[in-house]
């Protein structure tokens, strides 16, 4: 077992006991200090900062073991559970101790916080069905339970506005929903061969999140379609459609020309946030980043090279 020592505030740290590991993710109780989460093979404990004070402790539920915990709103947290057969569920707790809701079990799925998808001011939970490429959206506030299910993968644009990315065999499209259930726009269908994704990002500077749809064709050409949304989230203006040979990263490894060795590589996501900065000291560079579309800048003594990059897993 690898023990991890994580810093919370200067001078405060926590070392887990044998058989546990610890990570700091959120300020669960809103006191301005990141809280510590200890996890063993079958239990999760949330500490108040680096102290020994427990905010909550979660053990096995029959055949289900807790696997993660994240805050929602109003002092509520969601704890995910899984069993060896592939079943996944989550529970919502109030005050770290009172169980308020338990979801049904889903097979081979991923549970994540999504923000306020239904526009009620409370954080919601999504369960992405990896087998059937569908998303189940659950309310993170009372009344609890399944709000709706979508065909495709959910991306939050703004509170109450969600994008559903739909990938069929050979085609990609997306839908926009208001308050989780009102379908306000369905895009055209765009062909793809290798990879495709859709995501919100700021493009035209009007203060509203736009949508980038990117597809990779059989000759490794990248087609980008940019859609601008208004405050209703329903108007479409196709701003850019172009094909160009992208930097395609297969199996998470970027291959560089020898002439670029020594350059500084900076990788940004579509929102402009820097997600990786490293020195290109070898021709093959592993990138520990999720699959998707990124922008990169290579800085050398002679100048700077920028472009778009597709990471495939």
Q: Phi and psi of 259, rounded to 5°?
A: -65, -15
Looking at residue 277, which CATH number applies to its domain?
Answer: 2.60.40.3080
**Which residues constitute the domain of residue 271?**
250-312
Is residue 70 domain-resident?
Answer: no
Distance (Å, whole) CA 264 – CA 281? 9
Under a CB-based contact definition with an 8 Å cutoff, are residues 13 and 6 in contact? yes
Given this model, what pLDDT does residue 271 score? Answer: 65
Q: Decide which of 131 and 302 is more confident.
A: 131
pLDDT band for 104, please (50, 70, 90 cuts): very high
pLDDT band for 237, please (50, 70, 90 cuts): very low
Is residue 287 domain-resident?
Answer: yes
Is residue 102 domain-resident?
Answer: no
Number of Cβ within a 10 Å radius of residue 158? 15
Distance set, CA 212 to CA 134, 157, 188 (Å):
20, 12, 13
Q: Residue 79, SS3? A: strand
- The model's pTM: 0.74
Is residue 104 domain-resident?
Answer: no
Q: Which residues of 38-62 are buried (b: 16+ CB within 10 A; e: fewer)?
A: bbbeeebbbbbbbeeeebbebeeee
Distance (Å, whole) CA 298 – CA 122? 41
Rg (the chain; Cα; Å)? 22
- Domain count for the chain, please give it: 1
Under a CB-based contact definition with an 8 Å cutoff, are residues 267 and 294 in contact? yes
Distance set, CA 7 to CA 15, 35, 54, 191 (Å):
10, 10, 18, 47
Mean per-residue pLDDT for 160-187? 91
Is residue 270 domain-resident?
Answer: yes
Is residue 154 domain-resident?
Answer: no
pLDDT at 28 over 80: yes
Is residue 259 domain-resident?
Answer: yes
Q: Decide which of 209 and 121 is more confident.
A: 121
């Amino acid at each position: 077992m690898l023990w991890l020592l994580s810093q919370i505030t200067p001078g405060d740290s926590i070392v887990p006991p044998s058989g546990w590991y610890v990570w700091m993710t959120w300020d669960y109780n809103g006191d301005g200090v990141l809280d510590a989460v200890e996890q063993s093979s079958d239990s999760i404990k949330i500490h108040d900062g680096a102290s020994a004070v427990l905010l909550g402790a979660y053990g096995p539920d029959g055949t289900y073991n807790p696997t993660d915990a994240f805050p929602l709103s109003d002092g509520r947290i969601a704890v995910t559970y899984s069993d060896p057969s592939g079943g996944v569920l989550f529970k919502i707790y109030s005050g770290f101790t009172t169980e308020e809701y338990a979801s049904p079990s889903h097979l081979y799925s991923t549970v994540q916080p999504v923000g306020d998808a239904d526009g009620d001011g409370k954080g919601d939970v999504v369960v992405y069905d990896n087998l059937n490429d569908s998303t189940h959206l659950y309310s993170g506030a009372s009344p609890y339970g399944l709000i709706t299910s979508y065909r495709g993968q959910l991306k939050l644009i703004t509170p109450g506005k969600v994008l559903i990315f739909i990938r069929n065999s050979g085609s990609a499209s997306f839908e926009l929903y208001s308050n989780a259930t009102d379908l306000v726009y369905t895009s055209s269908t765009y062909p793809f061969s290798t990879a495709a994704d859709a995501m919100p990002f700021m493009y035209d500077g009007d203060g509203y999140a736009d949508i980038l749809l990117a597809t990779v064709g059989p000759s490794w050409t990248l087609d980008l379609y940019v859609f601008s949304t208004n405050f209703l989230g329903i108007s479409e203006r196709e701003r850019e459609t172009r094909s160009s040979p992208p930097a395609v990263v297969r199996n998470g490894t970027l291959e560089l020309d020898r002439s670029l060795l020594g350059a500084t590589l900076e990788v940004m996501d579509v929102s402009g946030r820097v997600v990786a900065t490293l020195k290109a000291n070898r021709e093959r560079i592993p990138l520990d980043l999720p699959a998707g579309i990124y922008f990169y800048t290579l800085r050398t003594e002679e100048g700077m090279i920028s472009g778009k990059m597709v990471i495939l897993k």
